[in-house]
């Protein structure tokens, strides 16, 4: 084994294949250490293929072991000859593609069903269809010309025959508030069932993207993907969005997609016990979730690549994600839940698509505001989450949901733009004024410009407060749509200000590029809303390329891609000045999931000893060659939950044994012989003293090629190795003697120590 060098003469690596025929260890990675033109063994990373060993929830997977197992599975399939081998190969490939296709189809159907249910529940707060109770407003008024009054849709005051203006207002307010609260109560009832809440349903709260990111990086949380979670997430999400709370369905749809793919893989027995294969499937499903949420197949793939770190440098996984996204989007388009023959609700036309250079000034201003408010929203949300965790509200989540829903409903009824669902608000803010399409709450009335500006800014500020508190309550909730709505309100307000300025001073030099004909539109406030939405979303999520593509596919504004890119770029620069982490990374840090950000780390002269846990503080297994008893090992495994233990002979390091391997081996031995005093050793027979057959040989469990470094190596090197190699631990030795150990958890703490409220929600929540 190699003890790592210091700062000078840092090595580079090359990889080749290694086989160890005398054991059950096959086709594992090995590395060579190259220094001064001399090649010598660096690490021979070998892994026994244990297909029957399952990880416990809360642990992290061993990527090298899982990848070796997957290579071995494919090798065994490839060694089969003749027709049987061909059929086995076709079955393996067809099975995975069947899951991919069914995942895309299923998510498209689920997404369409959610859209219809959310729209119907939301419209139910305002009124009902005269000829069918289960028709939403779009379905009830289908077939009418633009701007034509729909007499079939009746408000509750009209349906109940209330004639007086005072009575109508009072009745509408009462029904609006009561139905909003009822939806949340339905969520509470759906989530408070004894079996669902205590066993599965708690994992259905929140967005799910932080957990999906952690799972894709190797965190094991199978309960998060269970069938009950799928059901409660879908139903609860529809009720939560329709309740009028400031939340969206986009993030939770990614969780729903992953749950659906996981369920299919188990039913069709495709992922098996291999965790890497499972994560590649979940990555494709996550892309499909974004595709359905935004109607953005390409954006879904890029979202998985940029935000979820999902594709493992594997082009095949990206291809599967693309196929799943396209199938999901086509399914959604075919069902057409909006009744518009469009993929999403926010598509806008490009009429009057020319933009002028002077508009870059208000757009950059919007980007700066988006970056500032995005950072503010993250800080408010984390502060609310920490307060909730340490207050009495943590013990009364149902009361919190009911109470805050009532507050939201009461305030929303006072602000006209908050009465409708966020999706409807955004759709109208993105549209340009057109007499044929009507006037949304006087938004296009030139005599009410300043009143509309005030209402839009007020709506944005109130929605920031609502979103900061709602995103974290015990209900399914996404943050994409409310963030888009906040930015769209601010963008439309800035657009109206610019338009009013142009109307007041049409001959000013700054407007010299505008058409001289006053009937031709120069300023497009609807596109300012799109710019504001992209800026706000960039400030909250810190996404870049995928965000631009999603907004382009969302709106169809091809000619305005460059302004959107500028807006996202500036908002990210501004937001990064107040912290590099977006909302999802911040929640991961607060929950202390074992997820390593890909950003560069500089050690400022520190060495590995700065974070290393000394050997004297480690739980180790001492093997002097005479053997230890099964009882001692069993007590060790039960007492400590570490994922593995160093094995020492005296003070010399023999290797490292994983806890799950040791646990499985002990259980197998006890199943054959219940004698707890039986001796066992980790030293191979050639090294163990004597040849006593009564001593069980556990040396095949031992990883003798565990990665070892010296404790004086730069800390930056250690962090890079964890990030690049997906390691769970690194041991440190000096002359063969164990000096310490660093785990992935230690590196996570190191990289997230500067995050606001890091670890504040790390305790078990459920």
Per-residue model confidence as pLDDT tens digits over 300-359? 899 888 888 765 566 778 888 999 999 999 998 888 776 666 666 676 665 556 788 888
Do the domain assignments include residue 431? Answer: yes
183 — pLDDT class (breaks 50, 70, 90): very low
Contact (Cβ atoms closer than 8 angstroms) between residue 726 and residue 732: no
pLDDT over 50 (residue 147) = yes
Same domain membership, residue 617 and residue 567: no
Same domain membership, residue 680 and residue 629: yes
**Domain interval for residue 366:** 357-591
Contact (Cβ atoms closer than 8 angstroms) between residue 172 and residue 180: no
Which domain CATH number covers 567?
A: 1.10.3080.10
Same domain membership, residue 234 and residue 154: yes
**Mean of pLDDT over the chain:** 79
Do the domain assignments include residue 766? Answer: no
Do the domain assignments include residue 288? Answer: yes
Least reliable range by pLDDT among 17-31, 154-168, 416-430: 17-31
Per the confidence metrics, is the pTM higher than 0.85?
A: no
496 — pLDDT class (breaks 50, 70, 90): very high
Same domain membership, residue 261 and residue 230: yes
Same domain membership, residue 136 and residue 75: no
Do the domain assignments include residue 86? Answer: no
CA 765 to each of CA 94, 203, 591, 752: distance values in angstroms, whole numbers, following the listed order: 40, 9, 9, 20
Same domain membership, residue 558 and residue 442: yes
pLDDT over 50 (residue 463) = yes
pLDDT at 411: 87
Do the domain assignments include residue 574? Answer: yes
- 560-597 confidence digits (pLDDT tens): 889 999 999 999 999 999 988 899 999 998 998 888 88
Do the domain assignments include residue 764? Answer: no
Same domain membership, residue 101 and residue 72: no
CA 281 to each of CA 155, 189, 748: distance values in angstroms, whole numbers, following the listed order: 46, 33, 25
Q: How many domains does the chain have?
A: 4
Beta bridge partners of 703: 656
Contact (Cβ atoms closer than 8 angstroms) between residue 45 and residue 30: yes
517 — pLDDT class (breaks 50, 70, 90): confident
Domain boundary among 546, 565, 591: 591
Same domain membership, residue 74 and residue 108: no
Domain boundary among 591, 620, 644: 591
Task: Name the token pair of 251.
Answer: 């993030």
Which domain CATH number covers 699?
A: 3.10.580.10
Domain boundary among 52, 79, 106: 79
Q: Would strands 679-681 and 628-629 be described as parallel, antiparallel, or unpaired?
A: antiparallel
Same domain membership, residue 291 and residue 157: yes
Rg (CA), the chain: 30
Do the domain assignments include residue 236? Answer: yes
pLDDT over 70 (residue 39) = no
Segment holding 647, helix H or strand E: strand 644-649
Same domain membership, residue 497 and residue 371: yes
Place of tokens 């419209």: 123
Same domain membership, residue 402 and residue 253: no
Do the domain assignments include residue 600? Answer: no
Same domain membership, residue 243 and residue 188: yes
């Amino acid at each position: 084994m190699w003890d790592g060098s210091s700062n000078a003469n840092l090595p580079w690596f090359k990889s080749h294949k290694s086989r160890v025929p005398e054991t059950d260890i096959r086709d594992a990675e090995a590395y060579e250490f190259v220094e001064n033109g001399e090649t010598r063994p660096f690490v021979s990373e070998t892994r026994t293929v244990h297909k029957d060993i399952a990880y416990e929830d809360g642990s992290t997977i061993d990527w090298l072991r899982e990848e070796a197992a997957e290579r071995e599975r494919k090798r065994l399939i490839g060694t089969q000859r003749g027709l049987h081998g061909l059929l086995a190969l076709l079955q393996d490939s067809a099975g995975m593609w069947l899951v991919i296709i069914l995942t895309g189809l299923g998510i498209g159907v689920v997404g369409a069903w959610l859209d219809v249910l959310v729209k119907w529940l939301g419209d139910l707060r305002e009124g009902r269809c005269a000829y069918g109770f289960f028709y939403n407003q779009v379905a009830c008024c289908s077939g009418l010309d633009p701007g034509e009054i729909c007499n079939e849709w009746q408000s509750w005051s009209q349906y109940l025959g209330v004639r007086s203006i005072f009575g109508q207002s009072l009745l509408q307010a009462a029904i609006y508030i009561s139905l909003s609260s009822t939806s949340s109560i339905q969520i509470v009832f759906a989530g408070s069932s004894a079996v669902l809440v205590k066993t599965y349903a708690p994992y259905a709260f929140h967005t799910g993207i932080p957990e999906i990111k952690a799972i894709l990086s190797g965190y094991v949380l199978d309960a998060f993907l269970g069938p009950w979670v799928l059901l409660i997430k879908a139903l609860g999400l529809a009720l939560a969005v329709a309740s009028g709370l400031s939340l969206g369905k986009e993030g939770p749809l990614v969780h729903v997609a992953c749950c659906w793919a996981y369920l299919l893989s188990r039913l069709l027995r495709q992922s098996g016990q291999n965790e890497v294969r499972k994560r590649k499937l979940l990555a494709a499903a996550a892309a499909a979730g974004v595709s359905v949420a935004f109607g953005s197949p390409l954006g879904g793939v890029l979202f998985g690549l940029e935000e979820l770190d999902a594709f493992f440098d594997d082009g095949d996984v990206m291809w599967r994600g693309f196929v799943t996204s396209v199938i999901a989007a086509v399914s959604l388009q075919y069902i057409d839940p909006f009744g518009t023959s469009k993929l999403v609700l926010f598509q806008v036309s490009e009429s009057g698509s020319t933009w002028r250079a002077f508009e870059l000034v208000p757009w950059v201003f919007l980007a700066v505001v988006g970056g500032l408010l995005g950072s503010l929203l993250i800080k408010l949300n984390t502060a609310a989450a920490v307060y909730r965790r340490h207050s009495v509200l943590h013990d009364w989540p149902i009361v919190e949901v009911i109470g805050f829903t009532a507050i939201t409903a009461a305030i929303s009824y006072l602000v006209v733009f908050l009465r409708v669902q966020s999706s409807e608000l955004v759709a109208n803010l993105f549209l340009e004024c057109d007499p044929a399409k009507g006037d949304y709450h006087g938004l296009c009335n030139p005599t009410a410009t300043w009143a509309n500006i005030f209402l839009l800014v007020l709506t944005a500020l109130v929605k920031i407060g609502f979103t900061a508190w709602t995103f974290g309550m015990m209900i399914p909730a996404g943050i994409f749509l409310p963030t888009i709505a906040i930015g769209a309100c601010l963008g439309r307000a800035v657009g109206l200000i610019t338009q009013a300025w142009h109307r007041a001073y049409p001959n000013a030099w700054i407007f010299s590029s505008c058409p001289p004909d006053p009937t031709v539109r120069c300023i497009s406030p609807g596109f300012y809303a799109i710019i504001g939405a992209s800026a706000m979303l960039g400030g909250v999520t810190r996404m870049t390329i995928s965000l631009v593509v999603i907004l382009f596919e969302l709106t169809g504004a091809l000619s305005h891609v460059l302004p959107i890119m500028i807006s996202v770029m500036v908002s990210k620069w501004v937001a990064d000045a107040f912290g590099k982490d977006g909302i999802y990374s911040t929640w991961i840090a607060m929950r202390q999931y074992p997820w390593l950000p890909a950003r560069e780390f500089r050690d400022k002269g520190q060495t590995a000893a700065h974070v290393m846990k000394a050997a004297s503080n480690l739980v180790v297994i001492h093997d002097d060659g005479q053997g230890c008893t099964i009882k001692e090992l069993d007590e060790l495994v039960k007492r400590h939950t570490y994922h593995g233990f160093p094995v020492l002979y005296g003070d010399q390091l023999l290797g490292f044994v994983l806890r799950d391997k040791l646990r499985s081996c002990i259980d197998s031995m006890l199943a054959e012989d219940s004698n707890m005093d039986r001796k066992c050793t980790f030293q191979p027979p050639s090294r163990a003293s004597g040849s006593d057959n009564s001593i069980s040989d556990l040396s095949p469990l031992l990883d003798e090629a565990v990665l070892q470094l010296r404790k004086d190596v730069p800390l930056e090197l250690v962090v890079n190795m964890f990030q690049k190699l997906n390691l769970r631990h690194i041991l440190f030795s000096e002359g063969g003697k164990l000096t310490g150990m660093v785990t992935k958890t230690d590196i996570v703490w190191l990289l997230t120590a500067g995050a606001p409220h890091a670890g504040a929600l790390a305790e078990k929540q459920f």
